[in-house]
C-alpha cells in the first residue's frame, strides 16, 4: 500500500486553528512525556492537550461526550484525536495519572508569554493581582474533597492579573482548604494582592509587608483601630476616612507594622480597606478594590462558557489536569482575541472562532483533490499519481 511522502499537517489548511494553537509550539517542544513501559503511548501528550482544549472550546459536558465527538465527528477525528483513535479506558487513564507536570510547564510558559503580549490597562496603579477561591461540586466518591457531612467539594485558589485580565498562579485543595496561606505563594514581591474581607488576618498584614508584597484588603467594619495619623479627605467625595493606623487589640492581635485604612461609601454600602499602598490616593485605593470584582467575572465566564467545572476526572490529579487545561484554553483565547481583534476575551469572539474553524473545515472538504500526488509504493519507489 502506498504511503504519502509528506504526511498531512492537520492544521496547515486551517488557519484559525493554527493561530489559536501557535503559542503552544515553543512550550510543547520542551514538554516531554514518555511511556512508563515498553508499550508506546496510545495518546501522546500533545494529543491529550489538544483534546482537553477542544473539550473546553466546544463546551462539551462530559468526558464521554468528548470521546463520542472524537470518534464520530469528521473534523475532531481527523484534527484533534490521536491518529489511531482513543478508547475510553486509555483516555481516562491518561487524564487521571499522567501529564500534570507537563501541563503545568505549558501553563507557566503560556502565562509568561501572555503577560508580555497583553497590555497592562491600569499599570499606573501597580501590578494588581486579585486572589480568591472557587468551589467545585464533587461527587461522594471523591473522598479527598472533604467539605462537610454528605457533601464533597474541591476548591481552586487562583491569582488573577487585573491589568491584563488573565489568571496567574493556581492551587487546588479540598473544599475546606483555607485560602489565606496561598496569598504569599501567589504574590511575588512588588505585586499588590486585592482581597476580600475573608483574607483579613493582622498577622498576615505584617508578614506580607515583611515580604514586600503589597495588599488592598477589605476589613470588617467593627475592626479595632488605633489611629497614628489622619489624612485629609475631599469634601463630598466617596471617601470619608483615611488614616495611618494599627489594627486589632493591643497584646492580642494588633499589627506590629503601621498600615493605612481607607473608608468609602457607594450608595448606602460602606467599605473599609486596609492597605500598605501609601503611594495611592484614597480614591485610587477605592478603585483598586472595585477592580477585585474582575476575578468574580472571570470565574463566572470561565465556568459558563468553557465548562471547566464539568467533571471528567475524579482524582485530585485528574481534576488539576482538567483545570490547568481550562486555564490554558483561556490564555490561548486571550492571546488570540488580542492579536486578531485587539480585544479582551468575549463569548462573541469565541463563537466567531468556532464558526471560522468549522467553515474552514467545510472549505477543505469541498476543495478539489490535488491532481498530482506523490506517493511511495510498498517497494520504496517514488512515483506520481494523478
State which of 267, 285, 303 marks the end of a domain: 285
Same-domain status, 276 and 328: no
pLDDT score at 102: 92
pLDDT greater than 80 at residue 48: yes
Last residue of a domain, one of 242, 267, 285: 285
- 12 and 60 share a domain? yes
Question: In this structure, are 96 and 41 located in the same domain?
Answer: yes
Whole-model pTM: value is 0.88
Phi, psi of 19 (to 5 degrees): -65, -40
The answer to whether residue 58 is domain-embedded is yes
Q: At residue 385, does pLDDT exceed 80?
A: no
Contacts 24+ apart (CB under 8 A), 298-306: 298/160, 298/165, 298/167, 299/132, 299/134, 299/158, 301/345, 301/347, 302/326, 302/330, 303/134, 305/59, 305/347, 305/350, 306/56, 306/57, 306/59, 306/330
Q: Are 54 and 332 within 8 A, CB to CB? A: no
Please indicate, yes or no, if residue 378 is contained in any of the structural domains: no
Q: Does 166 map to a domain?
A: no
CA-CA distance, 202 to 222, in Å (whole number)? Answer: 14
Is residue 229 located within the same domain as residue 274? yes
User: Domain boundary at 235, 268, 285, which?
Assistant: 285
Q: Are 70 and 76 in contact (CB under 8 A)?
A: yes
Q: Does residue 321 share a domain with residue 274?
A: no
Same-domain pairing of 276 and 320 = no
Using 50, 70 and 90 to split pLDDT, how confident is the model at 171?
Answer: very high
| Mean pLDDT (the chain, rounded) | 88
Contacts of 123 (CB under 8 A, 6+ apart): 163
Quote the number of domains for the chain. 2
pLDDT tens digits along 283-332: 999 999 999 999 999 999 988 898 888 888 889 999 999 999 999 999 99
- Residue 386: the pLDDT is 43
Residue 248 lies in a domain: yes
Q: Distance between terminal CA atoms of the chain?
A: 16
Query: What is the rounded distance in angstroms from the CA atom of residue 143 to the CA atom of residue 152?
Result: 8
Q: Which residues pair with 264 in a beta bridge?
A: 239, 271
Residue 311: inside a domain: no
Verify that 270 and 320 share a domain, yes or no: no
Q: Assess if residue 381 is contained within a domain.
A: no
Most confident of 67-81, 136-150, 201-215, 348-362: 201-215
Same structural domain, 255 and 340 = no
Residue range(s) defining the domain that contains residue 245: 211-285
How many CA atoms are closer than 13 Å to the CA of 225, on its beta-carbon side?
22
Which residue has 485560602 as its cell numbers? 179
E strand or H helix that includes residue 263 = strand 259-266
Amino acid at each position: 500500500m502506498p504511503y504519502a511522502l509528506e504526511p498531512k499537517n492537520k492544521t496547515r489548511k486551517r488557519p484559525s486553528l493554527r493561530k489559536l494553537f501557535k503559542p503552544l509550539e515553543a512550550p510543547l517542544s520542551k514538554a516531554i512525556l514518555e511511556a512508563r513501559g515498553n508499550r508506546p503511548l496510545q495518546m501522546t501528550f500533545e494529543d491529550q492537550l489538544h483534546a482537553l482544549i477542544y473539550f473546553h472550546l466546544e463546551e462539551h459536558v462530559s468526558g464521554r461526550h468528548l470521546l463520542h465527538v472524537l470518534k464520530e465527528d469528521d473534523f475532531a477525528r481527523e484534527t484533534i484525536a490521536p491518529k489511531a483513535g482513543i478508547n475510553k479506558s486509555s483516555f481516562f487513564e491518561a487524564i487521571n495519572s499522567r501529564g500534570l507536570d507537563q501541563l503545568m510547564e505549558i501553563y507557566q510558559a503560556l502565562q509568561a508569554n501572555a503577560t508580555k503580549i497583553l497590555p497592562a490597562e491600569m499599570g499606573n496603579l501597580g501590578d494588581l493581582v486579585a486572589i480568591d477561591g472557587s468551589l467545585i461540586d464533587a461527587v461522594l466518591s471523591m473522598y479527598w474533597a472533604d467539605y462537610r457531612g454528605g457533601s464533597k467539594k474541591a476548591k481552586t485558589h487562583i491569582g488573577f492579573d487585573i491589568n491584563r485580565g488573565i489568571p496567574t498562579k493556581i492551587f487546588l485543595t479540598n473544599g475546606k482548604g483555607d485560602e489565606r496561606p496561598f496569598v504569599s505563594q501567589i504574590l511575588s514581591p512588588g505585586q499588590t494582592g486585592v482581597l476580600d474581607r475573608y483574607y483579613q488576618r493582622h498577622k498576615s498584614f505584617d508578614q506580607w509587608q515583611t515580604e514586600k508584597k503589597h495588599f488592598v484588603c477589605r476589613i470588617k467594619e467593627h475592626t479595632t483601630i488605633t489611629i497614628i495619623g489622619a489624612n485629609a479627605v475631599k469634601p463630598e467625595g466617596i471617601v470619608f476616612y483615611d488614616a495611618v493606623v494599627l489594627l486589632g487589640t493591643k497584646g492580642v492581635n494588633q499589627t506590629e507594622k503601621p498600615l493605612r485604612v481607607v473608608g468609602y461609601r457607594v450608595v448606602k454600602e460602606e467599605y473599609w480597606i486596609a492597605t500598605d499602598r501609601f503611594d495611592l490616593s484614597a480614591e485610587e485605593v477605592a478603585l483598586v478594590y472595585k477592580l477585585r470584582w474582575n476575578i468574580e467575572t472571570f470565574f463566572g465566564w470561565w465556568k459558563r462558557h468553557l465548562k471547566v467545572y464539568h467533571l471528567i476526572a475524579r482524582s485530585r490529579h485528574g481534576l488539576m489536569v482538567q483545570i490547568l487545561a481550562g486555564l490554558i484554553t483561556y490564555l490561548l483565547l486571550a492571546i488570540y482575541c488580542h492579536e486578531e481583534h485587539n480585544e479582551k476575551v468575549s463569548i462573541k469572539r469565541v463563537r466567531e472562532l468556532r464558526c471560522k474553524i468549522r467553515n474552514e473545515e467545510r472549505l477543505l472538504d469541498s476543495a478539489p483533490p490535488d491532481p498530482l500526488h506523490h506517493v511511495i509504493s510498498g517497494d520504496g519507489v517514488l512515483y506520481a499519481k494523478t
